[in-house]
Every structure is written in C-alpha cells, then in structure tokens.
Chains A and B, each alone.
Chain A
Amino acid sequence: MKYTTDYGYEIKPVYGPRDVEDLEYERDLGDPGRFPYTRGYHENGYRNRMWTRRMTAGLGSSSDANKVLKKYREMGQTGGICVIHDRVSSSCIDADHPRARLENGVLGWPGSSLLEFEELMEDIPLTGQSITLLGCCAPSSLRLAYVVALAEKRGVDLREVHGSVTESPFSNVFGQTDVQPFDLNMKLFLDTAEYVVRNEIRMRSGVIGQHFQESGGNNAQVLAIELSMLKEICGRLVNQRGLDFDDAMRVPYQLVSIGSRFFEEIAKVRALRRMWARMAREHFGAKKEKSCQLLIAVHTSGRTMTYQQPLNNVVRCGIQTLAGAMVGCTAVDNATLDNAYAEPSALAARMSLNTQHIVAVETGVADVVDPLAGSYFVERLTNEVEAAAYRILEEIDARGGLVAAIEKGHIQAMLKEEANIKFREMNNKERLVVGVNHLAIPPEEELFEIPIQESGASDSEAIAKRMADWKKSRDMGPIEASVQRLYADARKGDRFNLMPAIIGAVKAYGTAGEIIGVIRLARGLKYDPFDMIQCPFQLN
C-alpha cells in the first residue's frame, strides 16, 4: 500500500500543530464568506440553501429523457435538472447523418434541434430550478439558443432562467476528443459568454476539470488545469471581448470530480477556492467580492465505480457525496452503482439521489460550514496540493498558457503519463480497489444481478428516421433566410458575435448539423466534419 497522494506527497502517520505552523487564519482561511474563501462563500453554509441534488439524464429519444427527468423530480430532484448530449449531437451532426444512424440517443440526449429541446422540456419548468445541459462546446451555443427560444415561446422572462447550458472550449480536450476544431469552439464559447453577460442572462458556462481527473489526471494537475482554463477564458473575455473582469466572472462555473480519497478531495476543492480568489484579485484585479468566489459543482467519480460487485459502488458514492457535502459545493450530480455497465437504471438513479438526500438530511454534516477547517491534516493537505498545483501552473504559464501548452501536446502527454501510472499502480496492487484487485470474487459468486438500462439500435434508427421525416416537413423559407444571415455574420471575423444569428436559425428550426455546418463553411471548413454530406443551402 502506498501512503502518498496521487500527486506524490508522502502522507505521515500523524499530523500536529507544527504541520500548519505557517498557517495564518485570516490570510489563508478566513471565516466562511470572507476572502480567500478557503472555507466557502456563505457564512451560514447550507442553512440558507442546500446544494442542488441532481442526476445526469439522457438516453434514447428526447421523450424518453423527458420521462426520466419527471421520474427524477419524483425522487426529490427539485433544485435542478442536468442532461447530457449524445455523441451525435455533441459532434454537431444530425440524427439522419450516415455516421449517426446507430448512435442516436446513445449515452445521452439527441439534442440537435429546438424540437428536441421542446420535447425534452415538456411539462418541465424553465424557472424555479437550475437548467444544466452538458456535452461539448460547439453545440452548447445552440443549447443557449434553445433556452432563449423556449423562454420566449413560453412567455418566461429569460432573466428568470438560471443554470448552465454552455461549455468551455476545453471540454473535450482531456481524455476525450471533439470533431469541431478548437478555434471554432473557442470562438463560439466567447460568443455565448459575451451574449450572456451583455443580456444579463443568469446562465453560466461549464469549465470542466472533471474530464481531466476522470481521464487519469492527479489532483495537483487538475487544480492547475482548472485555474489555467479560467485564466485563459477570463483573459480572452476581457481582452478580446472588452468585458469587465467582474462581468466576465458571471460566466464560469467549475465542475470538479470527487473520488474516494476523502481528505485529499476535500483539500483539493478548498485549495481551488483559495487559489481562484487570489488569482481573481491579484491577476485580474477583481473589484467585486463575487468575482473571487468560483462557483463549484461536483460530479462524484464515475471512474471509481467498479464493474465487479457493483453494489460496492453505493458505498463509494456515499463516501464521495459526503466529501462533496463537507467541502461545500453548489450542486452534486452523482455517479451510479451501474456506471461501469450502462446509463443509470431507475434503481441506480434512486440509490444515488437517495445517497445525497441521506447525506443532506440525516447526517448533520450540512449543519456546519467547512467542518474540517483547522484539522492539522486537512490544512496541511490543502497547502500541499496548492503548492504542487502552483508548480504545474507556473510550468503552463512558462509555455505560454494552457492553449499554447495544448497546441504543443504538453498537457495531453502529462495526462497520458498519469493515466498509465494509475493503471500500473492498480496492476501492481499499490492502490487497492475492493472487488477488482483486492478480495475479488469469481463472476459466478456475484450474488446480486443489477438491472441494466438497455437501449437498442432500433431506438437509434427511430430517432434518425424521425429527424429525416421532420426535416422534410419544415417550413424552409425562414430556415433559408436565417442561415443566409448566419453565413454572412460568420464571415465577419472572430469577434463578430454569432449568437443573434444562431438564435434566429434555432427559432426557425435549423438543426445543429445545419447551423454549425454553415458556420464551418464560412470559416473555410467542410460543411460536414466527416465530409460525407453536402450543405443543403445555396449560400451567398
């Protein structure tokens, strides 16, 4: 067994006052609600508002996902919804694309038009709960347009809608890939962020550190990546879009992963709050306290959910949820006991939501803010992960920032090396996982067969067929007009904001493939990222 953190800090058997002798309370911790916000942003913690307890939904058709959302509401998910795109709509191709045929509604919601969003949201309120939609950067500009369009249709004041539907361009860089080029994603992200700020919309954009950690990155690396993503994004919003930093900071929220190394995960999130507060004040010259308070949501770690003895995952999920609750976050969406098998079954979803409800109402951990503050061990771990992260952050800065470091392949190489280390540690039993490399049992002794949420190829085909039929039934006049405007706007240079034209095309029921395809053409790219279909419009 290793007694080190995943970033290599040797853990001692016991901690005492000398481990934190340099700690100055006001400078390094502060009361909850006071800079540098190590202890959180609210002096009363969860007593004012419990964290949003939610589950990620999305599988099969939009109507299927709508039913799941309604079921989750019955399970006590009233604070907010969270839905993730399928791979087809994440890639900004349509369900009737030849590459989509067998993958519609796989691992997510087939959200490539306003029609799909209307079906997803049928009888589900846009206000009074947070609306969170996930899955790649480019389609997230359409997601923002869906919300704008549906709010208008329903007569809802757009400024009453809150949540997060857009994503940073770094979303699918770490351990995942994206068919849309990075510069297009960055441009669309900046457009959405600027649009949200200038129109005083209360929608945030996901800056997702979770993918980096879930793909094998260690806690110090992920902290450095999270901060450097924010630095790049806020820097561009200020320098390229002319926003005040304090306005730009209304945009990002950070989605972090929390695994089972309990104290280390708590230390990481406390360090993230402190490091961001200092960066906001010292680097960006924040004038508002709110800008020093990075909104943090938690996804408990899917990669820790084992295939073997899946009931053990209920315990892992409980430990991770407890860490998320104790560290003080805005929202938690949980991994599920069947994470290594399929999308969550109703049983698995209920278990995960109940895990959160139990932690929230039965344990008392939500009664007191940052209950681990002052622990010699936790404060030392917070300092250690922070120091290790600052070293990596300096390296990234020395390479010209995160975008430059990604272009040169440094970050991908760092992540790949770390993923290989994690695999070797498991293989060599330096890290033990019950049921996997410790106390494993033969498959025939698996005494409890969990239900599996299945989705078949016929479901994907049905979504494809519906898309093809529906496309033919649309009123093409408004679509043609809106894509002409979009094409013209998209040739006006990177700083010309495309959101008004995207919203126009979405309202006319243009699809993701059509809208992003036309933007691609205007930028000199092929209409179709797979170069299999042609643009259906005569653009001029």
Chain B
Amino acid sequence: MINGRGIKVIVSMIGLDSHTTGAEVVVTLLRDAGFEVVYLGVNQTPAMIVNAAIEEDVDVVGISSHASNFALIEELMSLVRQNGLADVAVVCGGNIPPNQIGKLAALGVTKVFPPGTPGDAIVEYMAGQGRRT
C-alpha cells in the first residue's frame, strides 16, 4: 500500500470560501495514509499560504477551491514563483471546470482533482511529490 511517510503537505482553503468539507475529508485521507499534514483552515490569503509553505518547509501545497473565478489561485502561483518555490507541487481540488484546468496548469499548478476523484488517486499522486526522497 502506498504511504506518505516523510512527505509534508499543506491543505488550505483560499480566500473567503468557507465550504470546508472537501478539504477536511482530504486532510483525514492524507493523515490516514501517513502524510504529515498542516491544515491551515479558512480565510487564508495567497501570501499566508506561501509563508506557511516556506515556514513549514512542505513538499506539497493543496488548495481547496469553491469559487467562480480563479484569481486568488493565480495570485498564489505568482507568489510561489517569486519566492522560488518551484520545487513545491501546488495541487487544487474542487469545483474547477475543465476549461480552467489547462489555464491553471499553465500557471504551474501541477494537478487538479475535480469532485469525484478517488481517494487512492490523490494519495498516489501526493506520494510521488516528495522533495526529499
């Protein structure tokens, strides 16, 4: 069985979105699979998330998104670049339409998990993102 031992992940809400169920289910999923998870919770700005990623020295940043525009994720990606975090995988999950997935990928988002993604697919992908292995 795949496990996430030694891999550190931030899971965060972004902006004012307060639909926390998806993020919290993923937190449980990852912790059960052995990942070290830092859950930032709600009301996080892109800057707060990037600062946390630096301070916590994480391998992956996971963003839960339930919004109708993706400007905050765009801002997050530009801060990721400015702070030299190119080796940190940024993944997004949530109600993200197919036409947006390509746009987010072009900004450097490494993976988008739409609703209905099996837990195994998330664990497997995250397990491959360790910077220290």
A172 is an interface residue with CB less than 8 A from chain B: yes
Taking a contact as CB atoms closer than 8 A, the residue among A340, A454, A455 that contacts B95 in the complex is A340
Residues of A within 8 Å of B98, CB to CB, are 443
Minimal beta-carbon separation of B39 from chain A (angstroms): 12
Q: Are B118 and A177 in contact (CB under 8 A)?
A: no
B72 is an interface residue with CB less than 8 A from chain A: yes
Binary contact track B33-72/A, C-beta < 8 Å → 1, others 0: 0000000001101000000000000000000001111111
Q: Are B72 and A176 in contact (CB under 8 A)?
A: no
Q: Are A172 and B18 in contact (CB under 8 A)?
A: yes
- A423 and B26 CA atoms in complex are apart in Å by 10
Minimal beta-carbon separation of A391 from chain B (angstroms): 24
Known: A106-B69, A307-B116, A416-B24. 15 other contacts (CB 8 A): A87-B18, A99-B15, A99-B43, A102-B75, A216-B21, A306-B115, A308-B116, A340-B116, A420-B25, A420-B28, A423-B29, A427-B118, A437-B116, A443-B98, A456-B69
Residues of A within 8 Å of B115, CB to CB, are 306-307, 340
Minimal beta-carbon separation of B87 from chain A (angstroms): 27
- A172 and B42 CA atoms in complex are apart in Å by 13
Residues of A within 8 Å of B107, CB to CB, are none
Taking a contact as CB atoms closer than 8 A, the residue among A103, A416, A454, A456 that contacts B15 in the complex is A103
B114 is an interface residue with CB less than 8 A from chain A: yes
Given contacts A427-B120, A433-B116, A456-B69, contact A99 B16 (CB under 8 A): yes
Chain B residues proximal to chain A, CB less than 8 Å: 15-21, 24-25, 28-29, 42-43, 45, 66-72, 74-75, 95, 97-99, 114-116, 118-120
Minimal beta-carbon separation of A312 from chain B (angstroms): 11
Residues of B within 8 Å of A435, CB to CB, are 116
The SS class assigned to the A binding surface is: loop
- A102 and B16 CA atoms in complex are apart in Å by 10
Q: Are A341 and B119 in contact (CB under 8 A)?
A: no
Interface residues of A in 331-386 (CB under 8 A from B): 340-343
Binary contact track A201-218/B, C-beta < 8 Å → 1, others 0: 000000000000001100
Q: Are A177 and B68 in contact (CB under 8 A)?
A: no
Q: What are 13 contact pairs spanning A and B, CB under 8 A?
A: A59-B68, A102-B72, A103-B15, A106-B69, A176-B20, A179-B16, A215-B21, A306-B115, A340-B115, A427-B118, A437-B116, A457-B74, A460-B71
A120 is an interface residue with CB less than 8 A from chain B: no
Residues of A within 8 Å of B17, CB to CB, are 87, 107
Please name the residue on chain A nearest to B45 by beta carbon.
Answer: A99
Taking a contact as CB atoms closer than 8 A, the residue among A103, A307, A419, A443 that contacts B21 in the complex is A419
Residues of B within 8 Å of A343, CB to CB, are 68
A178 is an interface residue with CB less than 8 A from chain B: yes
Minimal beta-carbon separation of B93 from chain A (angstroms): 11
Taking a contact as CB atoms closer than 8 A, the residue among A176, A419, A530 that contacts B25 in the complex is A419
Residues of A within 8 Å of B70, CB to CB, are 457
Please name the residue on chain A nearest to B46 by beta carbon.
Answer: A102
Please name the residue on chain B nearest to A415 by beta carbon.
Answer: B21
The count of A-to-B residue pairs whose CB atoms sit within 8 angstroms is: 102
Please name the residue on chain B nearest to A433 by beta carbon.
Answer: B116
The SS class assigned to the B binding surface is: loop
Interface residues of A in 61-92 (CB under 8 A from B): 87-88, 90-91
Residues of B within 8 Å of A427, CB to CB, are 118-120
Q: Are B29 and A106 in contact (CB under 8 A)?
A: no
Please name the residue on chain B nearest to A108 by beta carbon.
Answer: B68
A235 is an interface residue with CB less than 8 A from chain B: no
Residues of A within 8 Å of B119, CB to CB, are 423-424, 427
Please name the residue on chain A nearest to B24 by beta carbon.
Answer: A416
Q: Are B43 and A107 in contact (CB under 8 A)?
A: no
Chain A residues proximal to chain B, CB less than 8 Å: 59, 87-88, 90-91, 99-100, 102-103, 105-107, 172, 175-179, 215-216, 306-308, 340-343, 416, 419-420, 423-424, 427, 433, 435-437, 443, 452-457, 459-460, 530
Given contacts A87-B18, A88-B16, A176-B19, contact A455 B68 (CB under 8 A): yes
Please name the residue on chain A nearest to B99 by beta carbon.
Answer: A452
- A355 and B105 CA atoms in complex are apart in Å by 36
Minimal beta-carbon separation of B126 from chain A (angstroms): 15
Taking a contact as CB atoms closer than 8 A, the residue among A175, A437, A452, A459 that contacts B20 in the complex is A175
Q: Are A340 and B114 in contact (CB under 8 A)?
A: yes
Please name the residue on chain B nearest to A88 by beta carbon.
Answer: B16
Taking a contact as CB atoms closer than 8 A, the residue among B24, B69, B99 that contacts A459 in the complex is B69
Residues of A within 8 Å of B67, CB to CB, are 103, 106-107
Minimal beta-carbon separation of A151 from chain B (angstroms): 30
- A266 and B95 CA atoms in complex are apart in Å by 29
Q: Are B118 and A437 in contact (CB under 8 A)?
A: yes
- A436 and B119 CA atoms in complex are apart in Å by 12
Taking a contact as CB atoms closer than 8 A, the residue among B16, B19, B24, B25 that contacts A103 in the complex is B16
Q: Are A87 and B29 in contact (CB under 8 A)?
A: no
Q: Which has the most chain A C-beta neighbours within 10 Å: B42, B45, B75, B97? A: B97
Please name the residue on chain A nearest to B28 by beta carbon.
Answer: A420
Taking a contact as CB atoms closer than 8 A, the residue among A59, A178, A340, A459 that contacts B18 in the complex is A178
Please name the residue on chain B nearest to A461 by beta carbon.
Answer: B71
Minimal beta-carbon separation of A420 from chain B (angstroms): 5
Residues of A within 8 Å of B16, CB to CB, are 87-88, 90-91, 99-100, 103, 179
Residues of A within 8 Å of B74, CB to CB, are 457
Residues of A within 8 Å of B71, CB to CB, are 102, 456-457, 460
Q: Are A87 and B15 in contact (CB under 8 A)?
A: yes
- A340 and B4 CA atoms in complex are apart in Å by 29
